[in-house]
A and B are shown apart, each in its own frame.
Chain A
Amino acid sequence: MAAVEPAPVRARPRGDSPSRWRKRQQVALAVTWGAGLFVCVSAAAIIGFMAFKGLQYLRPDLLWTRPLPGFTNAEVGGILDPIAGTLLLTVIAIAIALPLGVISAIWVVEYGKPKALARAIESGIEVVAGTPDIVLAIFGLAIFQLPIMAPLSFTASGGGVFGRSFIAAGSIMSLIALPLIFAATREGLMSLPPRLREGSWALGKTRIGTIRTILLPQIRPGIATGTVLGMGRTVGDTAIVVVLLGATLQIESQGDFPGLNILRGTGGTLTTYVYGASPAGESNAPEKAYAAAFVLLIVVLALNALAARIGRRTKEESV
């Protein structure tokens, strides 16, 4: 029997340091680092620039002063109406998209028969998700300009239907948020193990009772994340506001019925205000544009942070 040589023992284990890697791998590392750094720097530059400009021009009183028509920074007033318009439009859009998205996702995952119809719904929602917002806006205009839709929008004295109102813009805006809410609900339901459902059915619970009591509470954080992301998209959209809300400076009500008059009326949001106030728009008030853009950025960042926070909680508490 040959003598067994002991395995060689290294004096000190070699660390896995990039300086020992081959050239190609070092290059790959540098490229990925560079790409990541570029994205970070771009994001930081946008936020930094907007914060610098925004904080320079943002006065607290702007937030509760109504905007006025004018041409210079001193004349145009504050941004109360765009902020209110943004909030109102988002609330309308989510109020439509949330129940619609959640319920249709429940149908697709939990019932889903006939299968062809379930697939049709899924691809239909994918189509909506992929449609540019301006196309959705034009489609909305075609619908809300129908004479039968006159009670829902701004109507000229001669009886011409403009098809522009918070209702019109909000319902089309809901299509922007719908795919995100639908996808969040669908993914959530599909990730739940079948044994959870069977366990509940085996206790003599109905399908809908199981969905309400067992399944929905489980995926609520996921739905919330989808909803917040949808809100972010709604807040940031411009095309639908221009086409279907009129992108007016102030919120202008229509009719005398309190509450409904605002829903039927036209208005604008922060996005259209930034456009209008910038040198590219009607007035030349870049200071106000920067201030409004900064507020918009803060709103969107806050919504994203909220989504990330909710998403993190999902992971910790899931089954």
Chain B
Amino acid sequence: MSTQDTDPADALVVDDYGPPLPPPKRRLRLDRQPTVVAPPERQQHKETRQGDLGPERMRVESLTVRYGDKPAVKDVSLAVHKGEALALIGPSGCGKTTLLRTLNRLTETTNGATRDGAVRLDGVEVEQLELTQLRRRVAMVFQQPNPFPMSIFDNVAYAIRLHDHKRPSDDALAPQVHEALRRAGLYDEVRDDLSKPALRLSGGQQQRLCIARAIATEPEILLMDEPCSALDPKSTTVIEELIGELRRDLSVVIVTHNLAQAHRVADRVAFMYLGELVEIGDVDQIFERPRARRTQDYVAGVFG
């Protein structure tokens, strides 16, 4: 594919505030048949390196998301690579969270949401993947820590178990659960009371438990929707360090309002404004040499 060489989003230089062209219309198909891609095929997917970025895992092509008639995301195209942290920045209501939630098809649960364009995971349109499988491969951490009202152990075990049964047993799952808690940097704090209710943990610990839960299924992409905005600065630091660790094994897409945070954790930054993707590029380029006026204004703190 020729488009692999130059990211079309990277070549984008927008300097006008004019209205974008109307994107093609396509309703969400409710009758679609899931085509489950078997794991062996997944691993055969050709991994193409691009410059110093890892192989491309997820590609968003001309994505438009509307709530009713109101577009929230307009004709956005970008790629997510393995081993990178991509930060989505922009003022409130610019469609960052909607874009993020579309990557694991969570926007579908909102009434009246429609989607045009394509989202591909390893070259396969996400609508063709079975929903439960997709969400295990593209995990998500929310703004508010939302542990389930059960024990710490059960929170992680619930994520790993494919069905709602008691199998595999707790004993069989223990190594996986401990490993997930260890990767999320929570294990040392909770090792002695894994049967404690998760809601008794502090906010920062709860959020790390949610991260442990999300990475327990060995996802390829981790979506984070302002994961630190409800936390104190100390917990924020812990989680930011965690993101730095995690992005070695998987791709992290993080929505943040906090420019300093985007600067700290991200490899690449995408700036969105009123539903449009204005600019995407390396973190240093976006913050030091932004190409678009609006990016320049935003990172300089003129609006937002």
Contact = CB atoms under 8 A, between A and B. Distances in A.
B158 A319 contact: no
A183 B139 CA distance: 35
B131 interface: yes
Nearest to A203: B159
A125 B134 CA distance: 39
Contacts of A278: none
A198 B164 contact: no
Interface string B140-152: 1010101111100
A203 B146 CA distance: 12
Given A196-B148, A198-B109, A204 B158 contact: no
Contact of A203 (B109, B144, B150, B214): B214
Contact of A201 (B133, B135, B150, B164): B135
A202 B199 contact: no
A214 interface: yes
A99 B141 CA distance: 34
B109 A204 contact: no
A72 B163 CA distance: 65
B134 A204 contact: yes
Contacts of A206: 132
Contact of A202 (B135, B158, B163): B135
Contacts of B158: 200, 203, 205, 213
Contacts of B134: 204
Nearest to B132: A204
A196 B131 contact: no
A201 B109 contact: yes
B265 interface: no
Interface in A206-222: 206, 209, 212-214, 217-218
A159 B133 CA distance: 60
B201 interface: no
A204 B213 CA distance: 12
B164 A203 contact: no
Interface string A175-203: 00000000000000000010110111111
Given A213-B158, A218-B149, A202 B142 contact: yes
A198 B148 CA distance: 11
A196 B146 contact: yes
B202 to A, nearest CB: 16
Contact of B144 (A195, A205, A217, A218): A195
B131 A204 contact: yes
A202 B216 CA distance: 13
Interface residues of B, number: 27
A203 B139 contact: yes
A319 B132 contact: no
A288 B158 CA distance: 57
Contact of A204 (B135, B144, B148): B135
Nearest to B142: A195
A199 B148 contact: yes
Contacts of B82: none
A195 B132 CA distance: 18
Contacts of B213: 203
A202 B132 contact: no
Nearest to A317: B149
Interface string A209-238: 100111001100000000000000000000
A205 B142 contact: no
B148 A214 contact: yes
A209 B164 contact: yes
B41 to A, nearest CB: 19
B148 A200 contact: yes
B64 to A, nearest CB: 22
A199 B146 contact: yes
A150 to B, nearest CB: 43
A79 B133 CA distance: 61
B199 A199 contact: no
B154 to A, nearest CB: 10
Contact of A199 (B104, B109, B133, B210): B210
Contacts of B199: 319
B98 interface: no
Given A209-B163, A212-B164, A319-B149, A203 B142 contact: no
Contacts of B149: 217-218, 317, 319
B28 interface: no
A213 B164 contact: yes
Nearest to A218: B149
Nearest to A213: B164
B30 to A, nearest CB: 11
A204 B106 CA distance: 10
A203 B136 contact: yes
A195 B146 contact: yes
B135 A199 contact: no
Contacts of A198: 106, 109, 142, 146
Nearest to B213: A203
Contacts of A202: 104, 106, 135, 139-140, 142, 214
Nearest to A192: B149
7 tightest A-B CB contacts, nearest first: A204-B135, A204-B136, A199-B146, A202-B140, A204-B132, A195-B146, A203-B159
Interface of A: 193, 195-196, 198-206, 209, 212-214, 217-218, 317, 319
14 contacts: A198-B109, A198-B146, A199-B146, A200-B158, A201-B109, A201-B135, A202-B104, A204-B133, A204-B135, A209-B163, A213-B164, A217-B150, A317-B149, A319-B149
